[in-house]
Amino acid sequence: MSQQTVAVLGLGNMGGPMAANLAAAGYHVVGYDPVPAANEAAVARGVEVVPSAVEAVADASVVITMLPSGGHVIDAYKGPDGILAAAAPGTVFVDCSTIAVEDARAAAELAHEAGHRALDAPVSGGVGGAEAGTLTLMIGGSETDLDAVRPVLEVVSGRLVHCGESGAGQAAKICNNMILGISMIAVSEAFVLGERLGLSHQALFDVASTASGQCWALTTNCPVPGPVPTSPANRDYQPGFASPLMLKDLKLAMQAADSTSTEARIGALAAAIYTDFAFGPGRELDFSAVVQDIRDRSQSGD
Ligand code: NAD
C-alpha cells in the first residue's frame, strides 16, 4: 500500500509534535511553517518541510492546520493562492486550531464550496498531550468525513468526541474552557480566603478534593504548591497552559456568548480577570498563577 500523505500547516508548540507523531506512525508528513526554527525541529523529527503551504498540500489527502487564530486559518484557506485552490478535490481539511465558532463554520463552508471535506477538531491536553499523542479532539463536521480521517486523527489523539456539525467542536472547546477559567479563579479565591482564615492548603485540599468543590482546577492543576506535586504551582508556575491562551479562549467564549445573547456574567468576569492578569504579571505564567494576583490584591486591599 502506498504511503498516505498528510500535510501539517503550523509546526509550533502543538503542530510540531503532532506532525512528528504522524511521521513516526508511518505517514508521509509534509509540513510548512514560516518560522525557520519550527521547520528545523520538524525536519529532525521526520517531517518533510517545504517552502510554501501550497506545496505542502499538493499531494496530501488530509490537511491539518494548527495555527494561532481564525484569521490565520481563513487567510491560509482562501483565494487563488490559498490551500483550498491548491489541494486535490475531496481533500479532508482538519482544523485543529482553537478559533471562533463562526470562523470554523466559515472555514468549513469555504472548503465545501471548493469541493473538499472539512472538520473542526480543536484539541485539549496541551503540549504534553501533543507530545504523547493523547490529545482529546472535539470534532465538528459530518460522521462520514470523520470516518475518512479517523485513523490519522487517532495517531495524535487519545480520545475523539464527535460533537455535531461544523463548529460544534469549537463550541465544545470554548464552553469547556469557560468552565476551566471560572473554576480556576474560584479555586484560587478559596485558597486565598482559606489562608486568611488560618486554614492550611493541605486541609482545604483534603476536604474540597473529596467534597462538592472537587474539579480539575483543584485536583490536577492545583494553584498552590504541595497538594498536587505535578501541578505548575510546584515549578514556579511555568506553563502548562499559559495565561494568554486562557484569555484567548475566554474571549472566544464571550464572543460566542454575545452573538447568541447568552447570559454569562461569571464568564465575562473571568475574561476581565484574565485580561488584567495575562497582560500584566501572568504574561508568561501558567493560568493557575492567578492565585498570586488574588493574594497580592487581598494583601494590598485593592
Ligand atoms: P504556536 O504559536 O506555538 O504555533 C503556531 C504556529 O503556526 C507558529 O509556528 C507559526 O509560525 C505558524 N503559522 C502562522 N501562520 C502560518 C501559516 N499561514 N501557515 C503555516 N504556519 C503558520 O501555537 P500553539 O501553542 O502550537 O497553538 C496552536 C493552536 O492550538 C492555537 O489555536 C492554540 O489556541 C491551540 N491550542 C494550544 C494549546 C497549548 O497548550 N499550546 C492547547 C490547546 C489548543
Ligand 1 interacting residues, C-beta cut-off 6 A: 9-15, 32-35, 38, 53, 66-68, 72, 76, 97-98, 123-124, 126-127, 241, 245, 248
Local mean pLDDT, 10-residue blocks, the chain (302 residues): 89 97 98 97 98 97 97 95 96 98 98 98 92 97 97 98 98 98 98 98 98 97 97 95 96 97 98 97 97 94 66
5-165: CATH superfamily: NAD(P)-binding Rossmann-like Domain (3.40.50.720)
- Read off the pTM: 0.95
Q: Write out the DSSP string of 70-115.
A: HHHHHHHH-STTSHHHHSPTTPEEEE-S---HHHHHHHHHHHHHTT
Measured from the Cα of 35, ligand 1's closest atom is 11
Compute the residue count for the chain. Answer: 302
Which residue's alpha carbon is nearest to atom 18 within ligand 1? 76
Rounded distance between C-alpha atoms, residue 282 and residue 272, angstroms = 13
Q: Specify the fold of 171-300.
A: N-(1-d-carboxylethyl)-l-norvaline Dehydrogenase; domain 2 (1.10.1040)
Domains of the chain by residue range: 5-165, 171-300
Backbone angles phi, psi at 219, to 5 degrees: -90, -20
Which triple of cell numbers denotes residue 32?
510548512
